[in-house]
């Protein structure tokens, strides 16, 4: 069965203090790995899609990377508005191609 584990569960950073969030996965053939941002009570907002090991994507202060076993979301010089829960998801190639989400990392950036 496909599994996604995100760490840490919660992270508290000072404004400007860079860090990384981890997403470890096991999947029967990876079709795609997705990163989302979710604010409380709202639907997840798409950030990145990664398809193969070695791929990197960047958007403002965020950079996502992918290896064969894990993905990292690097946050450079975060601002308070980056506070949110960051979700990682994988879509498998085999069988029903279902999507499996991790439980997320809740990020708080303090001014």
Partner 1 sequence: DSGVTQTPKHLITATGQRVTLRCSPRSGDLSVYWYQQSLDQGLQFLIQYYNGEERAKGNILERFSAQQFPDLHSELNLSSLELGDSALYFCASSVGQINEQFFGPGTRLTVL
- Residue ranges in contact with partner 1 by CB under 8 A: 31-32, 34, 36, 41-46, 49, 87, 89, 91, 96-104
Q: Give least dist CB 31 to partner 1, A.
A: 5
**18: exposed, middle or buried (Cβ count in 10 Å: 0-12, 13-18, 19+):** exposed
- Please give the biggest Cα pair distance in the chain: 46
Report the distance separating Cα 57 and Cα 9, nearest Å: 23
Q: How far is CA 96 from CA 1, 2, 4, 6, 91, in A?
A: 12, 11, 17, 23, 10
Q: Give least dist CB 79 to partner 1, A.
A: 22
CB-nearer residue toward partner 1: 53 or 110 = 53
Q: Please report, to the nearest 10 degrees, the dihedral formed by the alpha carbons of residues 95, 4, 90, 44 taken in order.
A: 130
CB-nearer residue toward partner 1: 8 or 16 = 8
Q: Give least dist CB 55 to partner 1, A.
A: 14
CB-nearer residue toward partner 1: 15 or 58 = 58
Q: Give least dist CB 85 to partner 1, A.
A: 10
CB-nearer residue toward partner 1: 16 or 59 = 59
């Amino acid at each position: 069965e496909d599994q996604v584990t995100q760490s840490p569960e919660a992270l508290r950073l000072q404004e400007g203090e860079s860090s990384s969030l981890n997403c470890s996965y096991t999947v029967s053939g990876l079709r795609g790995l997705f990163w989302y941002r979710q604010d409380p009570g709202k639907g997840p907002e798409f950030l990145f899609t990664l398809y193969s090991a070695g791929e990197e994507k960047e958007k403002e202060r965020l950079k996502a990377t992918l290896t064969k076993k894990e993905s990292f979301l690097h946050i450079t010089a975060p601002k308070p508005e980056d506070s949110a829960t960051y979700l990682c998801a994988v879509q498998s190639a085999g069988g029903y191609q279902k999507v499996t989400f991790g439980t997320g990392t809740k990020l708080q950036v303090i001014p």
